[in-house]
Structures are given as C-alpha cells and as structure tokens.
Chains A and B, each alone.
Chain A
Amino acid sequence: MKIWRYGDNIDTDLLFPGKYVYTCSTPDEIKPYLLEDLDPLFSKNVKKGDIIIAGKNFGCGSSREQPVVGLKSVGIKAIIAISFARIFYRAAINQGLVLIECSEAVKSYSKGDNVKIDLDSGKIVVGGKTYSFLKPPKEIIAIRNAGGLLEYTKTKLKRK
C-alpha cells in the first residue's frame, strides 16, 4: 500500500484536465489522464488499496466527476485531507469513494508512516498514533452502503 502525499488546493484541473472532460467518461478512458498535471507517475503506479493524504480544499473547482470516478476505479481506499471542496465531497459520496477530514492525522503524517483506517469506529492510526474523525450522517452512509447514488436511486425507483 502506497501513500500519495499532496498539498493544499489540489484543484479539479490538476486531478483531471478540462481538455479531456467531454471525451472521457468511463474509468478506462479516465485512468491515463488522472492527476496528469499534478503527478505524471500517479496513473502508472497507483495500486488498489493506496491512500491519498492532502492538505486543505482538496478537489476545489469544477463539478466534473472524472477525478472521483477515476480515483474510485483505480482502487484508492480513502483520501485523508484537512478539508475538501463541497462539490468534490458530494461527488465522492455519490460514487462511494471514502473521504476523511482529519487535520491532525494529515499534520502528523511523515513519509514512511503506516496508516490504518477503521471506518466503523471513525479512527485513523498514523505512525502508531490514533486520531478520530467525524463519521458522515446516516443519510450519507445509506448512499455509500447502496454502492453509490445511482444504485440508491434505482432501488428507490423499483420500489415505487
């Protein structure tokens, strides 16, 4: 498991450049360009179970959902950041990508630290120290448990 460490204000153009937004929608189309202008090594080397640790305002900018769809499909286990931009946060709920706001965990992380996440108890262990994070409200956990918003909506429609 690798930890990818990034700074503040990682915007949606860095995560997925605008020039590909209207030609790439599926995970396979998205993957080669994921984080292209931020970290050219990311899409080549990312593996299932990897974690991203970032600063504040991660995902600011556009409402494009390719960054979230892409990060989920390459198997990012969670993004831990000081804060997330609102639309990105919402998009992550809709795709079932785990986002954790925990500034202490971000600040205490140094290269080589082991990171463990327990979603049920709302705890992260970074380099042997344990930090708590706020769990999302039940309405949001219901969407995540359904496998994302569209699955949630489709089930609801079928029940009607």
Chain B
Amino acid sequence: MDMTFAEKILAKYSKLTEVFPGQIVTVHPDNLITHDNTAAIIQKIKPELEKFGVYSKSLPIIALDHIIPANSEKTAENHQKIREFVKNNEIKNFFDIGFGICHQIVIEKGFALPGKLLLGSDSHTCSYGAIGAFSTGIDRTEAASILLTGETWLKVPKTIKMVLKGKLKPGVYSKDVILHIIGDISASGANYCSVEFHGNVGQFSIDDRFTICNMGVEMGAKNTLFFSDDVTKKYLKNIGISDSQYNPLFADRDAKYSNELEYDLTKISPVIACPHNVDNIKPVTEVIDLEIQQCLIGTCTNGRFSDLHVAANILKGKRISQDVRLLILPASKDIFEKAIKAGIIKTLVKAGGIILPPGCGPCLGAHQGVLAPGERCLSTANRNFKGRMGCKEAEIYLASPATVAASALYGRITDPREVIKI
C-alpha cells in the first residue's frame, strides 16, 4: 500500500480499501463541533428536528465560546436557544459559557483521538491534527445537514509532506514555525491539501502541535497532522485515556505526496505576521520598536498553559508599559485553574495584565478589546485581516506569546530574545 494519512482515514471512514485524491467519499464523522453558531444552525432545520430529531445525541459537541458572556439581548437569546435545544434533545456533550474554547475542550476532554474523524462549523477545527485525528471545518448549513443525517461527503485531498529538521533555538516557538511556513508557501499554499508534519517532531509538545495545526487553515489546508507518537501517548495518558482506547493511523512508507518541503528549524527566528494578511511575514527584527497600544495573549492558537507560562516568565516581577493594554485569555477553565495554582495568573495580573473569561474574546471583533482607528494590536491569535478586531482602520500583528509578552513591557514590538532568560 502507498497511502497518505488522509487517504487512509478517508478510506477507513468510507469503508473502502483504497481511495485516490479527487475522489468523493461519504463519511460519518465521530463528532460534529459547533459553538455559538448552533443557534443559527438549528434554526435552519427546525421542522426537520421536530420530525426526525438529531441523528445521534452523542454526535454533537457544543461549546459556547465566541461571545461569552453574552454582550447583547440578541446573543443572550442565541445562548438561550442553544441551552433549550441541548435540554430538549438530551445532547450529551454541552459546555456552557466559561468552560473554554471549543477546540481546546475537544482536545483536553479527549474527544479528539488518533485515527478519529471530526468535523466542525469553525475554520479552526483543523486543530485536532495535533493529536493524530483528521479534522476540518465546514459551514453552518452543512453542520445542520450532518446534525440530521450523521453523514456528509468529503473530497480526498492531495497531501503535502513537510519535514521539520533540526531543533528550535531559544526564544523561537511553534508559533514562529507555522508563521514562517505560511510566509514561505503563502496563504493559499496548501489550499485543498492535507499537510503531514514529519521529521524532528518529538521536540513539539501537544500544545506546540496544537498551535501549528490550528493555523493550517491560514495556508488553506483541509487538515494538518502530527502522527501519534510517545508525546501523544503521554498526553492522552495524563488525561486518563489509555492506548487501548484508540487506533492511530499512519501514512505508508511509500505514500505519494503532491509536494515535499523541508524546513531547517535552526534557521527560524522570531517572526511576525504584518497587516493585513497572515502570509505577510517578517522577522521581528525588521519591525522592531513599532509602537503598539494593545497586546493579546490567548485564543485557540496560543491560550494554553505553556503559553501563559512563557509570558509569565518574561513578565515576572516587571510591569508592562503604561501605554499598552495587555489582555489575557486562558483557552479553557482547566488551563485557567492550573495557571492560578501555579501562580501564573497572579504574576500576569501584577505585571498589569487583564484576565478575560476563557473563550474567543477579542479575536473576532464582535466584543471585548475592540480596537480604535489608528491603533495597533500585537496578538497571539491566528488572523490579522483588515477589520478582524472590529475596526478596519486598526492594524493587527501576529506573533508568539513570548514576543507579545516582551513587547508589552515596552509598548513597542520587541525581540523576545532580548528579554528572555536564555
């Protein structure tokens, strides 16, 4: 056999012995992830839901994360409709406001497992490749259809093999790796493709892999994947899942790739995505000293314990510039609690950070931390599109939590290697 991961998993889920790129197959995903948009999804199929019910009570995973707590009567009503739907249909997996971002919950509660297939009506559903699952984003209409039928079609993608060689230097993080790759192949460089990461990947924790896979969609990828290994096994064991509970899938040795790319990690330096496209990548040293008014550490890209830990190490015993606002969002309640226990939240607040509830927060510009015209925000999020944070005359720059924390100290874009204890 000579199949890639995507070919193997799509063959498995469509009950075929082999599939080829371009083929359309019908699959039944293990889970369907929706969030605040569940209200609009169920509205589309109200009569059908009453007549036929949901396909399965354990198929949906619903987490309220995008606008939490509600910021208007309309969004409050959305949440209310979702809670009623959950109750009336006895939906098994519901996470009300405060539990965290849907993608973080899917991974930390063990829904995403190696060899599983998950779909979600959110573009960053591709994150679960961090754990060896196949996952990708769909729209609301398709989520509505899957809610009723449990199935959908997928086109078997071509696969790009990315080989990561060498070891990252101090001050350089997984965020820099994925930004560097997107800068190299462009925002559409992996469009419609599956991306497999190979090589020296043992150095990347699940948190690191999460950040890399999360941004797969920013290069157009259908899904992104790290193969299940000892790091995966250890992570899953820690959350109470033994290796007898999942069946990882691996690409064949002679799998056929549409493209093979190699990256020497020793040559990657801290980078930054400049406005207004994620592939507008520059070394931090090229934009050094640019004044910023807001800093954001969090979101499904970089709101994990290790991210807050890196930031706390930089900010410990210091105070951020009085000209900058530092917003911090733990990606989940579990992370928040762990960070409180470890003294990280205390450190961040003492340094001048403002803690927001676990959720998507300012990332999508719908509430919290909206920017004013002419302002610049340095963020750990995944998108810097024009208007993304609520104002089209503001600028968004994307970087690692270390770069954001270091920059918050001075109110100017700062190379984290200058302040980090190396």
Interface residues of A, Cβ cutoff 8 Å to B: 9, 11-14, 17-19, 21-23, 25, 36-37, 56-57, 60-65, 68, 83, 85-87, 90-91, 94-95, 137, 139-140, 148-150, 152-154, 156-157
Contacts and interface: CB of A to CB of B under 8 A. Distances in A.
Nearest to B146: A153
Given A13-B387, A154-B48, A25 B138 contact: no
Given A83-B188, A150-B144, A63 B78 contact: no
B191 A85 contact: yes
B37 A22 contact: yes
A37 B385 CA distance: 10
Residue of B43, B45, B141, B191 with most chain A CB atoms under a 10 A cut-off: B141
B14 interface: no
A154 B141 CA distance: 12
A157 B148 contact: yes
B139 A65 contact: yes
A18 B365 contact: yes
Interface in B387-420: 387-388, 390, 392
Given A18-B364, A22-B36, A137 B187 contact: no
A19 B365 CA distance: 5
Contact of A9 (B67, B140, B187): B187
Given A11-B385, A23-B74, A153-B148, A63 B366 contact: no
A57 B387 contact: no
Contacts of B144: 150, 153
A13 B390 CA distance: 10
A13 B141 contact: no
Interface string B75-111: 1001000000000000000000000000000000000
13 contacts: A11-B383, A13-B365, A21-B366, A22-B75, A36-B387, A61-B383, A85-B188, A85-B191, A87-B137, A90-B138, A91-B139, A95-B141, A157-B149
Contact of A139 (B36, B121, B122, B153): B153
Interface string B28-43: 0000000011001001
A45 to B, nearest CB: 20
Interface in B334-374: 364-366, 370
Interface of B: 24, 36-37, 40, 43-45, 48, 52, 66-67, 72, 74-75, 78, 121-123, 125, 137-142, 144-145, 148-149, 153, 187-188, 191-192, 217, 220, 222, 277, 364-366, 370, 383, 385-388, 390, 392
A142 to B, nearest CB: 10
B141 A94 contact: yes
Given A61-B383, A91-B141, A91-B142, 17 more contacts: A12-B385, A14-B386, A17-B390, A17-B392, A18-B390, A19-B364, A19-B390, A21-B364, A22-B36, A22-B37, A23-B74, A64-B140, A87-B137, A150-B44, A150-B145, A157-B52, A157-B149
A149 B141 contact: yes
A23 B387 contact: no
Contacts of B75: 22-23
Contacts of B149: 153, 156-157
Contacts of B191: 57, 83, 85-86
B301 to A, nearest CB: 14
A145 B47 CA distance: 22
A15 to B, nearest CB: 10
A14 B387 contact: yes
Contact of A65 (B43, B141, B145, B277): B141
Given A22-B366, A87-B138, A94-B139, A153 B188 contact: no
Q: Which 4 A-B pairs have the closest CB atoms?
A: A57-B188, A91-B139, A18-B364, A13-B385
Contacts of B192: 86
Contacts of A62: 123, 364, 383
Contacts of A157: 48, 52, 148-149
A150 to B, nearest CB: 6
Given A17-B387, A22-B75, A25-B43, A63 B121 contact: yes
A69 to B, nearest CB: 8
Contacts of B187: 9, 57, 60
Contact of B220 (A60, A90, A149): A60
Given A137-B24, A149-B142, A22 B383 contact: no
B142 A13 contact: no
B388 A18 contact: yes
